[in-house]
Amino acid sequence: MRILFAALTCLIGVGACAQLSNESIDIEGLNRTYLLYLPSDFNINEPLPLVLSFHGGAASANDQLAIADMRDLADSENFILVYPDAYPDPNNGQETNWQVVTSGDLPFTLPNPHSDILFIDQLIDHLHLEVNIDLNRVYALGYSNGGGFTFDLGCRLNNKITGIGVVARTMYAETYDNCIVTHPTPVVTILGDEDYISNYDGITYEGTLYYQSSDATHESWIANNNLLPTSNLSSVPNINTTDGSTVELYSWSSEDECIDLYHYKVIGGGHDWPGTFGNMDIVSHEKIWEHLSEYGMNGKLDCNSSHVSSPLTSSTKQLVKVIDALGREVNHTTNQIRFHIYDDGSVEKKFVVE
């Protein structure tokens, strides 16, 4: 096979391997294609992290490479890089869109004509066999429609995806409603508050919610990862004063700081890939790698304990206040997640239904 030949060639010439190749794999009778980049110091005997980078709607792997070229980063950080192609969608004029519609129950939607989840599931197994990827460090990132699919992978293929980074997209309603997280999953999001394609406040059409708001998206991952509900706000230097935008970084952490959620809010930002077009204060793919690379499937690589802390059960503790997942104090809410904060410092997560 071409991949195996390339890997053997790199093994012979370690230090001069870096190469980009066009690859394909058969999935349910469909020829699924992708770009594969092996870093300059690739050695098949050393398991390396895998980064999967997903293009936007009606685009291609080469388009994603053009806006998020991580080859130099792969060389310096020593990871394997893959840009998959979406398959032409017969439900949408043969456009190459990633499939996030599962049921087709929402108005104006149709069920998936093919399984992109299965494609990535089998591709990960294939790459593990062919180029020895490290299954403890498989990261996914994507732009726009590819970002929506990245959220989908974080929910529907969580057993194989270590962490996700999403640019210019919030969670699709079905992804949000059916998200199953089985391990601590770091998340990085980058979204402009003037993105009128992936609206910061979500997308509702004729009374139906199709995409959750940015706040609801983050609230979901706060709950999924048992994070403390109060965010930390960090300043991001405005290094480019002519791009018409600035960036704020919000972060949430678990009590033991072994799992985190990061949100880069681009004030004045549109449907962009910051660092390539739009805001130029950050480089999206570099920020995503910077955060996600710290994690394995059990949380931060330098953490020795579980990310989930057992709440204290002392009968003498007193309730101080109740807050929602965004840190806002509430008196009485139902059908949403609430955090009860006690005077001994413990926090209990509750979901009340009435």
Tell me the CA end-to-end span of the chain in Å, nearest whole number.
58
Note the pTM of the prediction, 2 decimals: 0.85
Q: What is the per-residue pLDDT for 31? A: 98
Contact 331, 343 (CB under 8 A): no
CA R_g for the chain: 21
What's the pLDDT at 313? 34
Q: CA–CA separation, 268 vs 286, rounded Å? A: 21
CA dihedral of 273, 170, 80, 49, whole degrees rounded to 10: 130
208-233 residue pLDDT tens: 999 999 999 999 999 999 999 999 99
Q: Residue 306 pLDDT more than 80? A: no
Exposed / middle / buried, residue 12 (Cβ in 10 Å: 0-12, 13-18, 19+): exposed
How many C-beta atoms lie closer than 10 Å to residue 113's C-beta? 13
**Domains observed in the chain:** 2-309 (3.40.50.1820), 311-354 (no CATH)
Q: pLDDT by residue (tens digit) across 22-60?
A: 999 999 999 999 999 999 999 999 999 999 999 999 999
